[in-house]
């Protein structure tokens, strides 16, 4: 592409790595997946603040089905370090390619938006930045510190990349900034990694979550998977066991939805009853907090869930 500006509204430019793939038929969504189009006043106010601060949200970039509900309540998940990712996961709608240089003023703008939105709890995520020596860890830390300065009452959740190609100090930098919740998603069962998350390593991601707890046991850890990609129940239960062995506190499970015909196909739509059964199994394995519904996403109801998780820890500690 050279230095021409990409138009990320054009699928082939947004996902050049997927352009040559055969189309996967997109099955009709069942009744329990349908969501209303966003129209509320709260939605518009949130959108206007995000636009004014020139910020990117994963809500829009990933095409989240809950954007209407969350934005109408003033909740948004900030996506830092640009909108172009160095990885090309087959499930993800975030654009792939060579990212631009980091914006040194972005942490301040994120903090300003958090204060303006009056958020009790904010989720900060990012694209993968394999082009940076520290994977963007210092930028995460600066953003956490900026939010603490501008909105000291806001609890902060980070949803980070895996820092696969970085020195161990990268993770230590993020943890040292003391987010309230450290989230890193495993996304799927290990057997599906080669086709779903080809650039990632299951056991590296698991160990990352475990290391957070080793460095600072007071930080809550969180991870999530999607179902409907081709996994079976036994595989999901094994992931739960692996997460608990790594001392993960909070588990999210949601239905995979295919963003475009070029993305990984939907193997099946998991029923609400199956999600309820996963939730019950996860609580039985010792998670402090579980969110398992068809529309669950990493950051969905994150603030309310954080409060419940904190209460659950206090109760457990007596």
Whether the pLDDT of residue 57 is over 70: the answer is yes
Q: What pLDDT, in 10s, does the model give residues 182-208?
A: 999 999 999 999 888 888 899 999 999
Which H or E run contains 308?
A: helix 302-317
Residue 236: pLDDT band (50, 70, 90) is: very high
Which of residues 63 and 153 earns the better pLDDT score? 153
pTM for the model stands at 0.85
Domain-located, residue 205: yes
Domain count, the chain: 1
Tokens read off for 219: 């930080």
Yes or no: say if 207 and 243 are a contact pair by the CB < 8 Å rule: no
Give the confidence band of 233 by pLDDT, cuts at 50, 70, 90: very high
The answer to whether residue 94 is domain-embedded is: yes
> Residue 55 class from Cβ within 10 Å (0-12 exposed, 13-18 middle, 19+ buried)?
middle
Residue 208, number of CB atoms within 10 A of its CB: 24
Does a structural domain hold residue 31? no
Residue 16's pLDDT band (cuts 50, 70, 90): low
Annotated binding residue 59: yes
Q: Are 281 and 291 in contact (CB under 8 A)?
A: no
How far apart CA 110 and CA 56 sit, in angstroms, is 10
Query: Which domain does 195 fall in, by range?
Result: 37-317
- Asked if residue 41 has pLDDT above 80, the reply is no
Return the minimum-mean-pLDDT range out of 50-59, 99-108, 268-277, 290-299. 50-59
pLDDT in tens, 82-133: 888 777 676 676 777 888 899 999 999 999 999 998 888 899 999 889 899 9
Give domain status of residue 263, yes or no: yes
- Terminal-residue alpha carbon distance, the chain: 59
User: Does 166 appear as a known binding residue?
Assistant: no
Within-domain flag for 12: no
The answer to the question of residue 98 being in a domain is yes
Sign of CA dihedral 211, 185, 93, 72: negative
* Bridge partner list, 125: 79, 159
Q: For the domain that residue 251 is a member of, what is the CATH number?
A: 3.20.20.70
**Domain contains 221:** yes
In this prediction, residues 60-66 reach a mean pLDDT of 62
The response to whether 72 counts as a known ligand-binding position is: no
Provide, rounded to the nearest whole percent, the portion of the chain with pLDDT above 90.
51
pLDDT at 38 over 70: no
Print burial letters for 106-129: b (CB count within 10 Å at least 16), e (below 16). Answer: bbbbbbbbbbbbebebbbbbbbbb
Mean pLDDT along residues 254-281: 88
Q: Is 231 within a domain?
A: yes
């Amino acid at each position: 592409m050279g230095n021409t500006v990409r138009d990320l509204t054009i699928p082939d430019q947004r996902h050049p790595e997927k352009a040559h793939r055969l189309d996967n038929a997109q099955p009709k969504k069942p009744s329990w997946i349908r969501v209303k189009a966003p129209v509320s006043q709260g939605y518009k106010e949130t959108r206007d603040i995000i636009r004014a601060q020139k910020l990117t949200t994963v809500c829009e970039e990933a095409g989240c089905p809950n954007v209407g509900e969350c934005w109408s309540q003033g909740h948004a998940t900030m996506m830092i370090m640009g909108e172009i990712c160095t990885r090309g996961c087959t499930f993800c709608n975030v654009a792939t390619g060579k990212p631009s240089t980091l914006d040194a003023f972005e942490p301040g703008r994120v903090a300003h938006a958090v204060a303006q939105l009056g958020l009790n709890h904010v989720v900060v995520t990012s694209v993968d930045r394999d082009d940076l020596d520290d994977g963007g860890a210092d930028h995460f830390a600066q953003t956490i510190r900026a939010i603490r300065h501008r909105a000291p009452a806001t609890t902060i959740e980070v949803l980070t990349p895996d820092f696969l190609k970085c020195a161990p100090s990268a993770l230590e930098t993020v943890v040292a900034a003391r987010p309230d919740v450290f989230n890193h998603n495993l996304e799927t069962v290990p057997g599906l990694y080669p086709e779903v998350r080809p650039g990632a390593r299951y056991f590296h991601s698991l160990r990352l979550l475990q290391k957070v707890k080793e460095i600072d046991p007071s930080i809550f850890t969180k991870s999530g998977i999607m179902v409907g990609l081709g996994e079976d129940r036994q595989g999901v239960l094994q992931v739960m066991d692996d997460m608990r062995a790594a001392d993960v506190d909070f588990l999210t499970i949601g239905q995979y939805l295919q963003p475009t015909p070029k993305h990984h196909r939907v193997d099946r739509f998991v029923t609400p009853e199956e999600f309820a059964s996963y939730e019950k199994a996860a609580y039985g394995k010792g998670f402090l907090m579980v969110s398992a519904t068809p529309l669950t996403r990493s950051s969905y109801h994150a603030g309310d869930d954080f409060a419940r998780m904190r209460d659950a820890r206090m109760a457990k500690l007596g």
